[in-house]
Amino acid sequence: MRLRCAVLDDFQRIATSVADWSPVADRVEVVSFAERFSDEDALAEALAGFDIVVTLRERVPFPGSLLARLPRLKLLIASGMRNSVIDYAAAEAHGVTVCGTTSSSTPPVELTWALLLGLARGIVTESNALRDGGPWQSTVGADLHGRRLGLLGLGKVGGRVARVGLAFGMEVTAWSRNLTEERADEVGVERAASLEELLTSSDFVSVHLALGDRTRGLVGARELALLKPTAYLVNTSRAAIVDQDALLTALHEGRIAGAGVDVFDVEPLPAGHPMRTAPRLLATPHLGYVSHANYATYYGEAVEDIQAYLAGEPVRRLG
């Protein structure tokens, strides 16, 4: 009897075509799910008959309560090599091996700039007007050259975003609690003395921090109030770093020029969610990691993880 493998959140239904699953085809039956499960009960019911689960990034939590309801599960594969929503101790207690895959920082860097440029030049507004018979030129673009780009986080993604900003001729500054002068000098940017200094001085602010206890809610109503009314905020990192209600209020009241958001507290967004209709908001459905090359890596290495597990020598173990 073949093992059964569930692939979660395969919204585009490409998991089985973007990578070669033939090396495990004789031993593993792969079933992909394009729908999002509403709660833990629905997820537990759907996954009850599977031995292997492949999950994307940190989209689906695997707490101990869920793992306890999946006695057949033996291998859990998460894309990326860091996952904060898997209970590793519970996985070990229930005999579940957890493995990861590599992940490229290129797609989120590119999407960050797509959002930032889209906001600065009113791309969606102007394109829609042109297609729908609206006014010919209704916006005045915000310049990048000579303006200040403030980065919250200067890690792998933030560092690459910084270098693009420098290529545009922007002044780039960065801040995080752990940022050193040495790292800022390495990238060629200025280290802000504080979060407040970065927010008050920047024309564009982009979030590139990992979500944790110290970053959850880092940018709230007080912090948003520090931004210039002409400033733009971009978040392709994690939704919980920016207070969603405070951001909606700032957008509706015109306190900032606009925001580009790729991450949300609830995903997929419900049909009537206020983020779908907020003014001054350029929003995308969590596309930061969604690229052909990244998917090929995720699912190609998931196949490798399954092969290694079946051979009794798991690779890229997490936890």
Catalytically active residues, by annotation: 238, 267, 286
DSSP-assigned letters across all residues of 268-298: SPPTT-GGGT-TTEEE-SS-TT--HHHHHHH
Tell me, rounded to whole angstroms, the distance of Cα 139 from its chain centroid: 29
3-class secondary structure, 61: coil
What sign for the dihedral angle of Cα 36, 37, 43, 45?
negative
CA separation for the pair 258, 250 (Å, rounded): 9
* Under 8 Å between Cβ of 19 and 299: yes
Which residues, including other chains, have CB under 8 Å from residue 190's CB and lie 6 or more apart? 171, 172, 173, 174, 184
CA separation for the pair 202, 48 (Å, rounded): 50
* Burial zone of 106 (CB within 10 Å; 0-12 exposed, 13-18 middle, 19+ buried): middle
* Burial zone of 137 (CB within 10 Å; 0-12 exposed, 13-18 middle, 19+ buried): exposed
313 token code pair: 């020598």
